[in-house]
């Protein structure tokens, strides 16, 4: 007798009514995608659980993958069986004898109310047979083994092991966002936090060759292949930014270069978000880190877009951002040396309180609209997919 299903649980709170149906449909699909290397596992969708039918597969690698799927709160390795009480006694005894420990507790849940025996009596019967046939003792407060029985319409599930999972919402239920991805530490972490909330990302990157080298693109691909763990396919739009930057430096006061550069970035992100049907933009900005990230700067920069701009790491400490970057395995890639368009053109004394009027004044000196359209039309698109991982 071996465990034959994995029971997938999702949070109760956010899953009501029609939303719940969408939530389950999207999650089931994401699970199918995450497990597509396991050819013969199948997925069963029920009202408040999803089951992965193992069909003889080793459960360990499957559980490991599922623990990272957004929207799953916990998992149990279960044995599906006939709910007849004599059978439940036999199965429970056999399963608990494979577990290590000295004490146990039995838990029963009768989701199918037509089942003739109430939960307390199921527990009594099953605990009785375990006590009579093993050396295990009952401990209701802190048992070494918790044996659970759930009676449902389609059968009974018996299990001893429950695993925590990532929580959050299934990827895709929150729509799609245009995420500004640099090669730094913060923007991949911001992307991860959004994906955890069920939001799919599409990335925009501003490249300034020859000032920035092509290695940056390899770096971005490596970062995205780490993020493929949470979103199996990510579209990366690379925007040629050199001409715009050169024009900025030709026309604007050095102390306003960063402000105007970022206004151009947000304009490009806004236009591309509209083209790609993303109702919002996101970035890895964090308040106070650099001159362009003061509230006054954000005010002046944000003025170019009416889309919501989500900044998931805005109030996080750098050490905590780094911790997350290590957890999602992007940190070592992010710290590889590279030239960012921000660092190349960084002025000695950027304005920390740039005025909106001043910024507009400098911008009027060149035809940035034409340059923006040209840059968008010449964007290079790369899809980074799960298969691209080289390990």
**Interaction of residue 270 with ligand ATP, rule CB under 6 A:** no
Of 59, 71, 170, 284, the one binding ligand ATP (CB under 6 A) is 284
187 forms part of the interface with ligand ATP (CB under 6 A): yes
Stretch that binds ligand ATP, among 47-55, 162-170, 270-278, 284-292 (CB under 6 A): 284-292
Chain contacts with Mg ion (rule: CB under 5 A): 182, 184, 340
The residue at minimum Cβ distance from ligand ATP is: 184
In angstroms, rounded to a whole number, what is the distance separating the alpha carbons of residues 183 and 220?
6
Binding mask 191-220 for ligand ATP (x = CB under 6 A): -------------xxx--------------
**With binding defined as CB under 6 A, does residue 331 bind ligand ATP?**
no
Q: What are phi and psi of 125, to 5 degrees?
A: -60, -50
Q: Select 72 or 234, whichever has its Cβ closest to ligand ATP.
A: 234
Is residue 290 a contact point for ligand ATP (CB under 6 A)? yes
Among 289, 302, 352, 355, binds ligand ATP (CB under 6 A): 289
259 binds ligand ATP (CB under 6 A): no
Q: Which stretch binds ligand ATP (CB under 6 A): 49-57, 82-90, 112-120, 338-346?
A: 338-346
Q: Which of 44, 99, 139, 340 binds ligand ATP (CB under 6 A)?
A: 340
Residue number, 182 or 231, with CB nearest to ligand ATP: 182
Smallest separation (angstroms) from Mg ion to the CB of 137: 59
Judged by CB, which is closer to Mg ion: 5, or 226?
Answer: 226
CB of 14 to Mg ion, least distance (A): 33
Of 125-133, 153-161, 280-288, 365-373: span binding ligand ATP (CB under 6 A): 280-288
Closest approach, Cβ 181 to ligand ATP, in A, equals 5
Q: Which residues bind ligand ATP (CB under 6 A)?
A: 180-182, 184-187, 204-206, 283-285, 289-290, 292, 340-342
């Amino acid at each position: 007798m071996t465990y034959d299903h994995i029971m997938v649980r999702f949070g109760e709170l956010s899953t009501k009514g029609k939303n719940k149906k969408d939530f389950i449909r999207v999650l089931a699909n994401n699970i199918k995608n995450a497990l597509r290397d396991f050819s013969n596992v199948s997925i069963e969708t029920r009202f408040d659980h999803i089951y992965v039918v193992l069909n003889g597969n080793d459960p360990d690698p499957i559980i490991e993958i599922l623990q990272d799927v957004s929207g799953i709160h916990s998992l149990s390795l279960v044995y599906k069986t006939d709910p007849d009480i004599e059978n439940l006694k036999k199965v429970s005894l056999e399963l608990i004898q494979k577990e290590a420990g000295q004490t146990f507790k039995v838990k029963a849940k009768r989701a199918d109310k037509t089942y003739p025996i109430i939960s307390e009596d199921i527990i009594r019967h099953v605990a009785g047979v375990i006590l009579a046939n093993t050396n295990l003792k009952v401990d209701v407060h802190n048992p070494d083994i918790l044996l659970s029985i759930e009676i449902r319409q389609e059968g009974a599930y018996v299990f001893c092991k429950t695993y925590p999972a990532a929580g959050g919402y299934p990827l895709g239920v929150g729509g799609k966002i245009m995420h500004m991805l640099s090669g730094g530490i913060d923007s991949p972490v911001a992307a991860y936090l959004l994906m955890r909330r069920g939001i799919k990302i599409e990335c925009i990157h501003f490249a300034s060759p020859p000032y920035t080298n092509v290695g940056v693109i390899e770096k971005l691909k490596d970062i995205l292949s780490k993020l493929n763990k949470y979103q199996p396919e990510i579209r990366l739009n690379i925007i040629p930014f050199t001409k715009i930057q050169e024009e900025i430096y030709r026309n604007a006061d050095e102390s306003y270069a960063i402000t105007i550069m970022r206004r151009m970035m947000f304009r490009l992100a806004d236009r591309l978000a509209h083209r790609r049907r993303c109702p919002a933009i996101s970035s890895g900005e964090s308040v106070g880190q650099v001159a362009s990230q003061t509230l006054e700067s954000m005010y002046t920069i944000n003025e170019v877009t009416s889309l919501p701009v989500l900044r998931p790491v805005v109030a996080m400490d750098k050490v905590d951002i780094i911790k997350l970057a290590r957890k999602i395995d992007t940190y070592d890639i992010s710290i590889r040396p590279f030239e960012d368009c921000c660092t190349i053109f960084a002025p000695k004394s950027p304005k920390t309180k740039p005025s909106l009027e001043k910024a507009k004044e400098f911008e009027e000196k060149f035809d940035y609209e034409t340059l923006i359209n040209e840059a968008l039309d010449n964007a290079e698109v790369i899809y980074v997919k799960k298969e691209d991982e080289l390990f």
